[in-house]
Structure formats: C-alpha cells, structure tokens
C-alpha cells in the first residue's frame, strides 16, 4: 500500500502544543508516513514542548535570531522549507494557525505545488492589524490551503463567506483540548519550585500578556489594573508568567515587581502552565490558545484584547472581553470576585472549542481526502 507522505511544519510554542497531539495521532496511522520540520521561530519555548511530547523533528531549521523581524522570520523560513520540500516531496504539508511560520510553510508548499492542510483554519477578527500579523497570516493561508480543518462551525462559516470550497472544510474541534488529557495531573509537582510554595487555597489569578499590539501603554494599563486588584483583595495572589521579550519584562518588573503577593515567573513549561491554570481562580490573558484551553478547566477567562477571533467563547459565556483599559479590567475582575453567581455562570459554561477528539477527526479527514476512507468524517458540533 502506498502511504500518504505528510510533513508537519511549526515553529512556535503555541503551534507545537496544538500540533503535538496530531503528530502523535498521525504517527499511529499505518496508511501515513509522517515527519516533522520545525523552523524554531521560537527556540527555547518550542523545545520545552518537543521534550514533553517526545517529538524529534526530522528537520530543524533553527532560524531564530536575536532581535529578529517578521521579514527575517518569513524569509529564513521560506529558504529553509524550500530545501526540505524539494528533497522530501511530501504529498501534504500541515501548517497550524496563524504564525509567520504558518504562512511561510503554506506559501513555500504552494510554490512547490504541494497540497496544504491548514489546522485551526477560519479564525477571523476582520481587522488586519488585530492581531498583527496573525490575522493576515491566517487569511492568506486559507487562500492557499487545499484542506481546511476548522475547529468550530463558526470558523467554517467564516471560510464559506470567503468562497473557500466547502468540500475542503472539515469541522474537527481544536487539537489543544486533546493535549490537556496528557498534561494535567491531580497531584502534580511543579518543575518551577517557586510554584510549589504558592497557597492554592487562596484566589490565584494567572496572567499572560505579551502580544505586539499590547506592548507599551496597553501593557502598562494591564499591569496597573492588576495591582489595583491586589490592593483591593487581600486574599488574591497573582502568578504572571512573563514573556522573554524585554519590552514586556521591563514594564512588568517596573510596575509589578517587589510585591509579596505577585509572583513573576519565567515562561513556564507546558505542564507547569496547564497545572497552574487548572488550580487558578480565574485567568487574565491576551493569548489565543488559553481562550480555548482554560474553559475546559472550569475557570473564567477575561481576554486582555479589544477583539477576539474566538467569538464562540463569548457566545458560550466562557470568555469576556476586558480590553486594555485599566478601569474596565479592574471592574470586570471585581465583578467575578464579588458576584458568586456571575463567577459560577462563567466557570460552568460548556467549552465550545473541542471534546478531545480533534486529532482523530483530522487524521480521518486526511485519509478520506486521499481516498483511503470511503465515508467522510462527521463534523464536530
């Protein structure tokens, strides 16, 4: 039997988290020959995830540079990927989401006339600068892709509005929910020892904020709002995993440093992060992935952005947009601290982003597309 030769391409920690369950699923399929190529657009943070899931890339382009620009990432990824594609000639290249690696992977595959599968397709804000450059990365990738794995029916509708071939769209759920099954442990001991000293009987608020559009004044507003919360509620402690970007580090340390109830940590390993989030009272984040993951843990999520490409979470009640206004963030956190019924309503809302079977649906969809399965997989609802 001729196997389908598939190459998965990713370069950042969020991509790796979401692709890891799919990589493992594809490796188990006898009809598929699978290998991984990483650009290492992010180096250290990517390696953390590769280690946890025991993924050994066949190709590591190692493109990360000090003070790299979007142009640097895109050009270096295209150059490296072009060499790999010309050597390997896969039947299908899988890219994920919305990074510069994603777009470079799709464009280079198109130049080599190789079919493209887009995992987590169809997310939209319809504002090309929010988030930047992610919104245009995913729009452009959708127009290059032959297979679109939309996580939700809403994502599918976005693609249909853009005249994407309906036969190319498979609604699968989000693979990040698959990953939670192997990362959250009941009696977990944190790798970062400082986290083992935190009293999780208190109301722990976990924070991540690092997006490009939040750098500068928005991030200052976020940090000041969090300190307002710390000053108002004596039973609150903050855990903020601070991005390595100096533009983030400098602001966060200046405003939030030297407070005994504020724990500023290095970027956490995937297991540390997931187990921290699952033990937190609520989560403040500008991350895309956490908007999908945290509702499965039964925790409210306040999104530190003005728009979200995950409106399903807003509709389900698992997310609320807090933006970057200091007073608004303070008021929304205070409401969840003071109003138990409002907190419970968000915490108990059903996660609309997946059921832990997305990787299986994607693998089945690929087999169907290449004629190895007769029946089209049912969409996730």
**pLDDT tens-digit profile of 130-149?**
989 999 999 999 999 999 99
Q: Which residues, listed in sequence order, are joined to residue 94 by a DSSP beta bridge?
A: 8, 117
| Rounded mean pLDDT, 33-39 | 98
pLDDT-based confidence at residue 44 (cuts at 50, 70, 90): confident
- The residues assigned a catalytic role are 98, 120, 134, 210, 212, 243
Res. 288: pLDDT tops 90:
no
Q: Please report the pLDDT score of residue 9 as a whole number.
A: 98
Q: Please report the pLDDT score of residue 177 as a whole number.
A: 94
Question: Are residues 81 and 104 in contact, defined by beta-carbon separation less than 8 angstroms?
Answer: yes
| Rounded mean pLDDT, 335-362 | 95
Question: Are residues 224 and 259 in contact, defined by beta-carbon separation less than 8 angstroms?
Answer: no
Q: Please report the pLDDT score of residue 174 as a whole number.
A: 95
Q: Which residues, listed in sequence order, are joined to residue 116 by a DSSP beta bridge?
A: 93
Q: What's the pTM? A: 0.83
**pLDDT tens-digit profile of 86-107?**
999 999 999 999 999 999 999 9
pLDDT-based confidence at residue 42 (cuts at 50, 70, 90): confident
* Rounded CA separation 97/123 (Å): 8
Q: Which residues, listed in sequence order, are joined to residue 9 by a DSSP beta bridge?
A: 37
Q: Please report the pLDDT score of residue 181 as a whole number.
A: 87
* Residue at token pair 């493992």: 24
* Residue at token pair 């039997």: 1
pLDDT-based confidence at residue 48 (cuts at 50, 70, 90): confident
Question: Are residues 153 and 234 in contact, defined by beta-carbon separation less than 8 angstroms?
Answer: no
- Give yes or no for a cis peptide into 29 (omega within 30° of 0): no
pLDDT-based confidence at residue 250 (cuts at 50, 70, 90): very high
């Amino acid at each position: 039997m001729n196997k389908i030769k598939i190459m998965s391409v990713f370069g950042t920690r969020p991509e790796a988290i979401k692709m890891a369950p799919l990589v493992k699923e594809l490796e188990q399929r006898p009809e598929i020959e699978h290998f991984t190529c990483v650009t290492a657009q992010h180096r250290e943070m990517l390696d953390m995830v590769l280690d946890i899931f025991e993924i050994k890339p066949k190709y590591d382009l190692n493109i990360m540079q000090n003070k790299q620009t979007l142009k640097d990432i895109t050009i270096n990824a295209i150059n490296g990927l072009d060499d790999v594609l010309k050597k390997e000639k896969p039947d299908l290249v899988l890219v994920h989401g919305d990074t510069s690696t994603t777009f470079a992977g799709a464009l280079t595959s198109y130049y080599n006339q190789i079919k493209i599968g887009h995992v987590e397709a169809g997310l939209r804000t319809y504002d090309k600068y929010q988030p930047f450059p992610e919104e245009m990365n995913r729009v452009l990738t959708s127009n290059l892709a032959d297979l679109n794995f939309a996580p939700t029916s809403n994502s599918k509708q976005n693609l249909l509005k853009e005249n994407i071939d309906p036969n190319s769209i498979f609604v699968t759920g989000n693979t990040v929910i698959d990953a939670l099954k192997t990362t959250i442990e009941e009696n977990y001991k944190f790798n970062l020892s400082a986290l083992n000293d935190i009293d999780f009987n208190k109301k722990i608020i976990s924070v991540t904020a690092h997006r490009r559009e939040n750098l500068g004044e928005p991030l200052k507003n976020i940090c000041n709002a969090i300190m307002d919360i710390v000053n108002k509620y004596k039973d609150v402690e903050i855990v903020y995993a601070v991005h390595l970007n100096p533009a983030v580090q400098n602001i966060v340390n200046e405003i939030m440093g030297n407070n005994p109830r504020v724990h500023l940590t290095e970027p956490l390993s995937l297991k540390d992060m997931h187990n921290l989030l699952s033990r937190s009272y609520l989560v403040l984040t500008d991350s895309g992935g956490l908007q999908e993951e945290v509702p499965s843990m039964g925790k409210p999520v306040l999104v530190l952005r003005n728009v979200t490409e995950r409106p399903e979470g807003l509709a389900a009640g698992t997310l609320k947009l807090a933006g970057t206004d200091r007073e608004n963030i303070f008021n929304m956190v205070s409401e969840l601290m003071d109003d138990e019924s409002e907190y419970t309503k968000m915490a108990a809302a059903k996660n609309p982003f997946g059921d832990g079977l997305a990787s299986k649906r994607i693998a089945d969809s690929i087999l169907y597309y290449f004629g190895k399965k007769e029946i089209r997989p049912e969409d996730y609802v």
